[in-house]
Amino acid sequence: MVAGVSDALAPVITVDGPSGVGKGTLCQALATRLGWPLLDSGALYRLTALAALRQGLSLKDESGLVAVAAQLDAAFVSGPDGTIRILLNGLDTGPELRAETCAAAASQVAIWPAVRAALLQRQRNFRRFPGLIADGRDMGTVVFPDAQLKLFLTASGEERAQRRYNQLREKGMDVNLKNLVEEINVRDTRDATRTVAPLEPAADARVVDTTLLSMVDVFNWAFAFVVELFPGAVNPSQ
4 assigned binding-site residue: no
Torsional class of 220: left (φ above 0), alpha (ψ -120 to 50), beta (otherwise): alpha
pLDDT tens per residue, range 153-163: 999 989 999 98
24 is in an annotated binding site: yes
207 is in an annotated binding site: no
60 among annotated binding-site residues: no
CB 128 within 8 A of CB 184: no
Lowest mean pLDDT among 80-94, 139-153, 194-208: 80-94
Domain residue ranges of the chain, discontinuous segments joined by +: 12-37+128-222, 41-127
Q: Are 79 and 72 in contact (CB under 8 A)?
A: no
Greater pLDDT, 142 or 187: 142
| pLDDT tens profile 62-114 | 999 999 999 998 887 776 666 778 889 989 998 888 887 898 899 899 889 99
Strand-pair category, 12-16 with 132-136: parallel
**Matching fold, domains 12-37+128-222 and 41-127:** yes
12-37+128-222 carries CATH number 3.40.50.300: yes
> Under CATH, what is the fold of the domain 41-127?
Rossmann fold (3.40.50)
Q: Does the pTM exceed 0.95?
A: no
In which band, very low, low, confident or very high, does the pLDDT at 238 lie, cut at 50, 70 and 90? Answer: low
Distance CA 34, CA 168 (A): 29
172: number of CA atoms within 13 Å, CB side?
1
- The answer to the question of whether 23 is labelled as a binding residue is yes
For 89-99, the pLDDT digits (tens) are 989 998 888 88
User: What does the pLDDT average to over 33-38?
Assistant: 92
Known binder of ligand: residue 232?
Answer: no
25 is in an annotated binding site: yes
Confidence of residue 131 (pLDDT cuts 50, 70, 90): very high
Confidence check: pLDDT of 173 > 80? no
Percent of the chain past pLDDT 70, that is, above it, reads: 94
- The secondary structure of residue 143, as a DSSP letter, is I
Q: Across all residues in the chain, what is the average pLDDT?
A: 89
Q: Are 42 and 135 in contact (CB under 8 A)?
A: yes
Contact 168, 175 (CB under 8 A): yes
